[in-house]
Amino acid sequence: MSKTVLVIAAHPDDEVLGCGGTMARHVDAGDAVHVCILAQGLASRGEASSAAFEQLRDDARRANAALGVASVWFGDFPDNQMDTVPLLSVIKEIESHIARLQPDIVYTHWCGDVNVDHRVVHEAVVCACRPLPGHSVERLLYFEVASSTEWQTPDSAPAFKPNWFTDISDNVDRKLIALAHYDSEMRDWPHPRSFRAVEHLARWRGATIGAEAAEAFVLGRQISRQK
């Protein structure tokens, strides 16, 4: 039976870095994948012109189209300043998309990332996905984002210890193709957000489970409901 999948990310490119191969695999399985990107993604770098914002959103649309995503929604929360916004405002935004889409599966950020927006989004998603009667979400998974998750120092926050892996051996190339649309966000090797590093990570995560490539997650909750 097909599923509805919702990926909730802080910035454009987080969704592909975190679970682009898994998104493509969901699409191949006949699932409907939707993406919500909550923050602007540029303002903290001084690139706040309307043309720059629209270009980044166009890049995001193309990247997600390459994966077969059904819809992409963009929010206007301040870039790298989401901790200045009342958490309730972020929760209510996320709740509105969950109510609209009724996803079975939600992917979002890990709580221990260096980037503050990632941490805020994680906390808001956990609240928005609390298992109230009639709530649609059955599976909640947290992804890693290169140049944020692995940059956290020991004991500063919970370490990312994956316990859920998705084999993306047939989809790793599509992930890299999607990231090519985010070329302005990518960096040169050996930066962890370089194409080479992203592929190395996928290959390493794959090798840890005996596959050619994989994406790693922490399972937040899995509910097996009676039908």
Asked whether residue 170 is domain-assigned, the answer is yes
- Which residues of the chain are under the pLDDT cut of 70? 43-48
Asked whether residue 24 is domain-assigned, the answer is yes
Q: What is the mean pLDDT of the chain?
A: 96
Asked whether residue 227 is domain-assigned, the answer is no
Looking at residue 175, the DSSP 8-state letter turns out to be H
- Nearest-5° angle of CA 88, CA 90, CA 36? 155
Q: How far apart are CA 124 and CA 223, in angstroms?
A: 19
Does residue 205 contact residue 165 with C-beta atoms inside 8 Å? yes
pLDDT value of position 100: 98
Q: How far apart are CA 192 and CA 157, in angstroms?
A: 20
CATH of the domain at 205: 3.40.50.10320
Q: Which domain holds residue 16?
A: 4-222
DSSP string, 124-160: HHHHHT---TT----EEEEE--TTTSTTSPTTTS---
Asked whether residue 117 is domain-assigned, the answer is yes
Does residue 12 contact residue 57 with C-beta atoms inside 8 Å? yes
Which residues, in sequence order, are bridge partners of residue 222?
Answer: 139
pLDDT value of position 140: 98
Residue recorded with tokens 């992917």: 107
Q: How many domains does the chain have?
A: 1
Q: For residue 201, give every residue at least 6 positions away whose Cβ sits within 8 Å of its Cβ, in sequence order, or none.
A: 146, 192
pLDDT value of position 51: 87
Asked whether residue 207 is domain-assigned, the answer is yes
Peptide bond into 190 cis (omega under 30): yes
Asked whether residue 33 is domain-assigned, the answer is yes
pLDDT value of position 43: 63
Q: For residue 125, give every residue at least 6 positions away whose Cβ sits within 8 Å of its Cβ, in sequence order, or none.
A: 8, 94, 106, 108, 109, 140
pLDDT value of position 45: 59
